[in-house]
Structure 1
């Protein structure tokens, strides 16, 4: 081989009835632009329900000398990659009467007041991630990716007169159009990495199904041929990518009771273990970004008013019930355990992103990863001083490693800043966005 191959960004590996996307490789960029072209910027949202026990969340010091609080301890390996934002409010999330969780979840990314209804005449606002997806989504196979853990009803009352779509979705393509999330790891994996080839013969499709071929196995020959045509750096990237896809594939298939067919064997039950499902979904986000399948992703760890019981944390009550703590120490302690576990999942995502090397830094360096809940204190249903983390450097546009404190800044202003970072011209957003949030760039 005298010179590395030049590949199209749309190159797919083909195999027995299957197609597989590739990660972003140097060979996909023109030779003259490889040193100068920056890696693309990505945006991810990590939503967690029922608020946070704020006394164990909020750092005391402001600026670069802030210390990790008990809830944030698991973020120690990525502390220098974090912005902690205090004093940011989302007042459009306040409901008419009761229904704080659903109304605030509808406004979580839209910053628009939700119309109170149990019917189909729902209305809020387009969410910030979908504004971004419209602007940058044409560059990737999927304009955006919506993932979650808990499915939810599409109709009916889910919170004091607020329709279920408000409680179960944070992505809104339009004021009355929620973007449903995928809650099945296997389905999400197949959508991203294991497409059936529309040009495959029926015999090829039947062979893959009959033998339960891994997506890696199915495209192995095409991958081997490509491997020999790549430069050293791209070969390393491809090997790391295949390893990640295969490991995730094995875990997802184990959860879903799928795998190579070995006769009439009853598949195991899906345990529904939230720990396994969460890690699988977060790994999917990393691989989707690494492969440049999308640059915008939202993830819901639960729906509004989550009734999950965290038995593996030694708890017997439901999350939403604990959030109405009534100042009882036992409820505070339970909330602190849940909050720590949620932040640990966010820390896992950040560390996985930080481990992916790209041109000019890491995947985390080139991303903005937003963590928050629909409210602050669950007992008071506070829509002020929300718990907000923003990780990554967004390609140099963010200056992390600090705790920033504001006084009643609209959450919509943070979204205006993020949209501008991604090249979207925005002066207003939602019901109360008036301009960019200062200080994010240092």
Structure 2
């Protein structure tokens, strides 16, 4: 090992581009590398799916370590030992007084604060979401406090569900009662935000020149990278090569999205249509890369907006998701929901496997993170807010013992969020409308 010490914020620079590096051995204190496997950064991630899930197919049999994957959870088989399924948790702040369960549940999804019913933009009132509480505390450690991603766009104007503002239906991340953190739905823009365009010395001409010549960000930092590699030990050199390879592959995939997405028929202001399968995976890859190079430690992803009626034709379905979710105990609707729910869990499993593939010392990125999977309601037909579909993945650096199914008796999800915040060093005793303390049984 070369006798040098690298800053955790070491960057590669070239022709107006900056690239953050993954966590290398020579960025960590030598004592910590040898004696403290838990010294890597802690991360929080959220994976939201709309319209609830068909709970009979979701809830596993057995509890503790003697549980079996349900039909919907089968895609989690490769990471079964890395997940906790938490049954019996409630989310009462997401319950509206009458109608509008999807928007109300999504608006309170991460804040556990009952939203004010309004379709006026100036009347919106929500709570600060769990991810933003973490982002505020972790802000000094990373360039980006948080990353908000999603597949579906739309602003916060108008009514999206029973006179509830679209701001509630289209955002899960809230910096304040009137301040939703709008998600980015363009993978190219996310990529540029993470890996380019943030050099204060870069000019617009330099950025455009890179795009015009279709050059990789790596091309701009290659000379800097070669000089750095000469100063690294063999293990760090291999890790740097793997990281650059993953960035290069993602660049190609992001660029391919622009070329492969079919366009709508001719008409006024035609819009692009996007393949949700490829786009979801690219967004997951972007989250992993953002964590890997410690650009942020907090990220959220919305697979779809609340009450999404996306038609999953590639699953052989002809009606929309929200339509099927009102299944009326119809067997055909149950079968359709089973296909959609399983596909959603496949995407979640993809994210977890990507995180597990990133080595951080003796642990993995997934070991050092907690990833929350959930929806705004339980069963979409009854719009339930008790016994919510909840999966918690990762170990949070030792805060959680996964590989189990834990049953609760109605404890609030807000208590889970208190525990998740504690895993990244944020100490809160209460959270939201009904959070009273850390959730029990997360660690054996």
Distance across 1 between alignment mates of 2:377 and 2:198? 42
- DSSP-derived class of the 2:149 partner: strand
Query: How far off is 1:419 after superposition?
Result: 1.4
Distance across 1 between alignment mates of 2:436 and 2:142? 30
Indicate the residue corresponding to 1:323 in structure 2.
325
- DSSP-derived class of the 1:396 partner: coil
Query: How far off is 1:379 after superposition?
Result: 0.7
Distance across 1 between alignment mates of 2:386 and 2:203? 58
Q: Counterparts of 1:330-345 in structure 2 under 5 Å?
A: 330-345=332-347
1:403 aligns with 2:405: yes
CA contact (8 A) 2:156 2:168 kept: no
Distance across 2 between alignment mates of 1:202 and 1:344? 40
CA contact (8 A) 1:16 1:208 kept: no
Q: Counterparts of 1:109-188 in structure 2 under 5 Å?
A: 109-119=110-120, 120-188=122-190
Structure 1 residue runs of 5 or longer lacking an equivalent are 259-268
Q: Counterparts of 1:212-361 in structure 2 under 5 Å?
A: 212-257=214-259, 271-361=273-363
Indicate the residue corresponding to 2:84 in structure 1.
83
Indicate the residue corresponding to 2:195 in structure 1.
193
Distance across 2 between alignment mates of 1:216 and 1:170? 34
Indicate the residue corresponding to 1:266 in structure 2.
none
1:51 aligns with 2:58: no
TM-score, reference length from structure 2: 0.94
Query: How far off is 1:4 after superposition?
Result: 4.2
Distance across 2 between alignment mates of 1:434 and 1:13? 45
1:22 aligns with 2:24: no
1:367 aligns with 2:362: no
Distance across 2 between alignment mates of 1:56 and 1:202? 52
Indicate the residue corresponding to 1:11 in structure 2.
10
The C-alpha deviation readout for 1:34-61, integer Å capped at 9, x for no partner, is 3245111111100000000000110121
Distance across 2 between alignment mates of 1:417 and 1:22? 29
- Structure 1 residues 202 and 146, CA gap change in structure 2 (3 angstroms): closer
How big is the alpha-carbon RMSD for the aligned residues of Structure 1 and Structure 2? 1.6
- DSSP-derived class of the 1:408 partner: coil
TM-score, reference length from structure 1: 0.94
Query: How far off is 1:201 after superposition?
Result: 6.1
Distance across 1 between alignment mates of 2:82 and 2:202? 45
- DSSP-derived class of the 1:84 partner: strand
- Structure 1 residues 197 and 326, CA gap change in structure 2 (3 angstroms): same
Indicate the residue corresponding to 1:60 in structure 2.
61
- DSSP-derived class of the 1:418 partner: helix
